[in-house]
Amino acid sequence: MFVFLPIFCFAQKIDKCYTDDFTGKKTVITSWESILPSLTSVVQFRFRYEGDKAYFELVYRNGIDDSANKGNAIEFKTKDSINQLINDKYTIIISSQKPIEILRYCGDMDFFTDSKIEKIRIHFNNGYDGFDLKPNKALLIAKSYKIFTEAIKQ
């Protein structure tokens, strides 16, 4: 007899949540989640709170070498608005041949709470790349942001 169990597509969780013994500052990091399943691309995100600053971190690999300097943007298009976060890290090389680097964005992220993201555009030094976001992946980002902000408040 076969028993089918439901598959849970929202497995986001808090990976780390602690207060630093030296600085007294809290660190909260969510698990990595995939938002663009593809054979040719890897797009994963997580949230990080460190040093009293919140970050949206992104791993983006599409097989093409590119770079993103501090100050490059990521844009999130919703039905009602376009929201932007800014890369807050040194130059990062995006390549399928090199180790994965993390793009670390900061800015006002409250739009993640109520908005359903439809499209994402990532700006690089030589242009931009973008993709449509399926509704279940937009919900994944919103749920992950919710557990992230709740963990910061605790």
Q: Any bridge partners for residue 129, and if so which? A: 122
d(CA 101, CA 94): 7
pLDDT in tens, 110-140: 999 877 899 999 998 889 988 999 999 999 9
Sign of CA dihedral 56, 111, 78, 143: positive
pLDDT at 51: 87
Q: The pTM is what?
A: 0.84
Higher per-residue pLDDT: 39 or 23 = 23
Per-domain residue ranges of the chain: 15-153
CATH of 15-153, one of 2.60.410, 2.60.40, 3.30.310, 2.30.29: 2.60.40
Q: Contact 105/70 with Cβ under 8 angstroms? A: no
